[in-house]
Amino acid sequence: MGTPQLTKNQSLVMGALAHSDGPLSAYTILDKLRDQGFRAPLQVYRALDKLLEYGLVHRLESLNAFVACTCPHEHEHDHGVTAFTICEGCGQVTEFHDEAIEQRLSALVRAQSFKTEKTTIEIRGHCKSCA
């Protein structure tokens, strides 16, 4: 079961995120898509829910915003934990993955007999250019 064909609304939201150079809030997406007929937040949130489910989009919890996934070739295999650096200066977000962290977290959590459903790792700071 891969990624199904996107609906019109899902494609529009995906396009807005893919063409943005940084994260977008749901309401910012709404504003960008008003010319395409969007009128209400739910149109955005419903599309985002599906895109998140398909793994095409990530939610940045510390920003209440969304970014397109930057691993376009890996949408099939669940590529485990995703981490982000988020620059407070320019807003740039960089996605990365690391096996070692994933395994270490997995071990710590297992020691609590805790069953992980979703892991959030977000690092706020300043990128090279904005230091």
CA 51 – CA 55 distance, rounded (Å): 6
Q: Does 111 bind DNA (CB under 7 A)?
A: no
Using rule CB under 8 A, residue 6 touches a copy of itself:
no
Measure CA 131 to chain center.
24
Residue closer to a copy of itself by CB (options 7, 62) is: 62
User: Which residue in the set 3, 19, 64, 103 belongs to the binding site for DNA (CB under 7 A)?
Assistant: 64
Whose Cβ is closer to a copy of itself: residue 54's or residue 98's?
98
Q: Which of residues 102-121 bind a copy of itself (CB under 8 A)?
A: 104-105, 108-109, 112-121
What is the length of the chain? 131
How far, in Å, CA of 89 to CA of 111, rounded?
38
Classify each residue of 95-109 as buried b or exposed e, where b means 16 or more C-beta atoms within 10 Å of its C-beta: eeeeeeebeebeeee
Q: Is 83 in the site for a copy of itself (CB under 8 A)?
A: yes
* Residues binding DNA (CB under 7 A): 4, 7-10, 25-28, 37-43, 45-47, 50, 64-65
